[in-house]
Structure formats: C-alpha cells, structure tokens
C-alpha cells in the first residue's frame, strides 16, 4: 500500500484561495506520478492536475490551468494544489492519487487518499 494523506480543504468564499497538500511516503513520492482529482456530489470523479517525476504538469483544461497550480516538494514528500479564484463549482472532495502514468483517467491511478473537502460559497 501507498499511503496518501490530503489536507488543506475547507470552506472559503468565492474568489478566495486554498492550498491543498498531499503527503506521501518517500518511496511513493519518488516512484509515482502524483495527481489530483475531485468529485462533486452525484458526479463522476474527474481529473484536475498531475505532476510527473520530472516536474511536468498536466491540467484538465485551460480554465483550470489558469487557477490551479500543482507542485511537488521532494524534500517534504508532499504534493500541493494551489487553487486561486475559487468558484462555487469547484466545490468537491479533492483526492490525491498516485500512479505510474501521467494520464487523466482515474482508473489509471493505483493509490488514493481519503480526500479533503473543498466548499466554496457564493
């Protein structure tokens, strides 16, 4: 198992910012692509962003690219998702995931955290 622990979610006003964190083991962090997904109530889990071992970033869409920034800190074995200009439609449980390939399909990611709730009020 590869334990992944998300944190940093909360309730924020639209237009605000959050930085989500995903703490992983050193072994997992050095060997896996790390990604963020989110799942709103009644919706399918969707890809948000991922970062490769080389630091290459993949985002779900151009609008997301402008507001979401994924990064990783090797020294801390932690991946981050900086979310700026939050919108109500960003409300979801955000999950950290680890996989072998930098893709958008959640089925291609093998390990998952428990999720952290992000709620954006209007």
User: Does residue 103 surpass a pLDDT of 90?
Assistant: no
CA–CA separation, 70 vs 96, rounded Å?
11
Query: Tokens at residue 97, please?
Result: 């995931």
Query: Tokens at residue 62, please?
Result: 């151009």
Mean pLDDT calculated for residue range 94-109: 92
CA–CA separation, 25 vs 2, rounded Å?
7
Q: Read off the pLDDT of residues 60-101 as tens digits, 9 standing for 90 and up.
A: 986 677 899 999 998 999 999 999 999 999 999 999 999 988
Predicted local distance difference test score (pLDDT) of residue 2: 78
């Amino acid at each position: 198992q590869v334990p992944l622990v998300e944190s940093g979610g909360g309730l924020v006003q639209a237009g605000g910012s959050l930085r989500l964190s995903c703490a992983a083991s050193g072994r997992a962090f050095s060997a896996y692509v790390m990604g963020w997904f989110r799942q709103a109530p009644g919706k399918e889990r969707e890809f948000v962003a991922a970062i490769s071992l080389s630091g290459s970033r993949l985002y779900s869409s151009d609008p997301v690219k402008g507001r979401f920034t994924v990064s990783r800190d090797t020294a801390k074995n932690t991946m981050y998702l900086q979310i700026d200009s939050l919108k109500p439609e960003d409300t979801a449980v955000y999950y950290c995931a680890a996989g072998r390939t930098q893709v958008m399909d959640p089925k291609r990611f093998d390990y998952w955290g428990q999720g952290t709730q992000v709620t954006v009020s209007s």
